Amino acid sequence: MTDFNDRKKGEEAKFAFDEENAFKIAARRNRLLGHWAAALMGLDEEETKAYATAVVQADFEEAGDEDVIRKLLGDLTTAEVDVDEAGVRAALEEKTIEARRQLMSES
């Protein structure tokens, strides 16, 4: 019975670890997306930091990535940046990979 309990605890620990890493990757990806969009909008350094934080916070509105995509697309459209939803989604995928690499290199 202890083997089963040990395995159960191990699986629970792995799940918690995986969930924490997924959260860290998403937060870092959103910050990177904020910097990417800020550069396209021509924001200065202070505005870029604030905007990146706003993108991270936007991800807490609903589950999934649609809230972040909606924010980025809306802000970029308002700033008259020539980018479409496919471009934002491509940047999201690119920044996810970059965020994962950054976190793995820190470990």
pLDDT of residue 92: 97
Digit-coded pLDDT (tens) for 79-95: 999 999 999 999 999 99
pLDDT, tens digit, 9 for 90 and up, residues 29-69: 999 999 999 999 999 999 999 999 999 999 988 888 999 99
Whole-number pLDDT of residue 78: 96
- pLDDT for residue 62: 85
Q: What is the mean pLDDT of residues 5-14?
A: 79
Q: What is the CATH number of domain 2-106?
A: 1.10.790.20
* Tens digits of residue pLDDT in 44-54: 999 999 999 99
Single out the residue of 94, 39, 89 nearest to residue 68, CA to CA: 89
Long-range CB pairs of 34-37, under 8 A, 24+ apart, other chains included: 36/91, 36/95, 37/72, 37/75, 37/76, 37/81, 37/91
**pLDDT band per the 50, 70, 90 thresholds, residue 1:** low
